[in-house]
Amino acid sequence: MNKSSILVLIISAVIFLSCGDKKSDDEAIVRVNNTALYNSDIVIPGDSLNIKRFERNEYIRNWINNELLFQQAVKEGLTESKEYTRLSELSNKELAKTLWVNQYLQEKISEINEKELEEFYNKNKAVFKTISDSYFINQIVFDNEEKAIVFRNILVESDWNKASKSITTTPNVVSSRTDYFLPEYRFLSGILARIAREMNPGEISPVIPLENGDFSVVQMIDKYSKDTTPPYFVISTDVKNSYLQRRRIELLDEYLKELYNSNEIEFNK
């Protein structure tokens, strides 16, 4: 790794991971000399407690590694070098630009009209064609086979909502997804994909033992073959994300035109 690459790594660590002073009531998780990582610094997305626990531990480990490397770089005087200053200025510009763009777009796109999204979907159906066989499912994963069997029995006798309510206090739930659109290539388990291919809409799978030792139950709501466009209500989240991405590009392009006209830009001949 060359010197510039090392400095970029250090700057990234400073911007993303360094901790400043915290309130006394915010618990410090770990300290590296005089620098601490606090609970409030860690935000782990996702609906799985096990995944969150793993990602939290991984985050802490990476933070310690980066802090050790950064502090060593400081000891050796790298943060006083011209190269570090140059790269810091570039990183600060990029960070300021990103924060400003996010703020500007957030102000411009405050609320999204459902009618707008449906119109966008109808005009761009070809964009939302599936690139693989896809499924609209309910899925739950347990770390205990008996709990998965009990849940499936309740589901067979009632419906997904009632079955889900019956296990709200069960600590054995690893993850739960309701009305979830899932292209086949996103399946984390080959067993799940193989079973999903054979299921019919409305069918409930047996308890499926997964490769990692967990147990899953899937309810097939509907299936969509490759190169078909699912109904709007199935892929509304994807439609919203695509709409937002396009609106962001349009708004930013429009504002950049204004900036070009209101600022002096000179090219050397």
> pLDDT, tens digit, for every residue of 93-147?
999 999 999 998 888 887 788 999 999 999 999 999 999 999 999 999 999 999 9
| Whether residue 85 sits in one domain with residue 134 | no
pLDDT above 90 covers a percentage of the chain that reads 57
The reply to whether 120 falls in a domain is: no
| Whether residue 76 sits in one domain with residue 148 | no
| Number of folded domains that form the chain | 2
Domain residue limits at 61: 3-90
* pLDDT above 90 for 37: no
* pLDDT above 90 for 47: no
**pLDDT at 71 (0 to 100):** 92
CA angle in degrees (0–180, nearest 5) for 213-214-217: 140
130 and 253 Cβ atoms separated by less than 8 Å = no
- What is the C-alpha separation between 234 and 39, in angstroms, rounded? 36
| Whether residue 148 sits in one domain with residue 83 | no
The reply to whether 254 falls in a domain is: no
The reply to whether 38 falls in a domain is: yes
- What is the C-alpha separation between 57 and 30, in angstroms, rounded? 11
Burial class (CB in 10 A: 0-12, 13-18, 19+), 128: middle
The reply to whether 113 falls in a domain is: no
The reply to whether 97 falls in a domain is: no
The reply to whether 116 falls in a domain is: no
The reply to whether 125 falls in a domain is: no
Residue where one domain finishes, among candidates 90, 115, 141: 90
* pLDDT above 90 for 266: no
| Whether residue 138 sits in one domain with residue 72 | no
CA distances in angstroms from 233 to 176, 203, 224, 228, listed in the order given: 19, 20, 14, 15
> pLDDT, tens digit, for every residue of 154-203?
999 999 999 998 887 788 998 899 999 999 888 767 888 889 899 999 99
Give the CATH number, domain containing residue 197: 3.10.50.40
Burial class (CB in 10 A: 0-12, 13-18, 19+), 151: buried
Residue where one domain finishes, among candidates 28, 60, 90: 90
Please report the sign of the dihedral spanned by the C-alpha atoms of residue 80, residue 84, residue 85, residue 91. negative
Q: pTM for this structure?
A: 0.63
The residue among 124, 151, 122 whose CA lies nearest residue 219 is 151
Residue where one domain finishes, among candidates 34, 62, 90: 90
**pLDDT at 134 (0 to 100):** 94
Out of 27-36, 181-190, 202-211, the most confident range is 202-211
CB within 8 Å of 122: residues ≥ 6 apart: 232
The reply to whether 238 falls in a domain is: no
**pLDDT at 45 (0 to 100):** 56
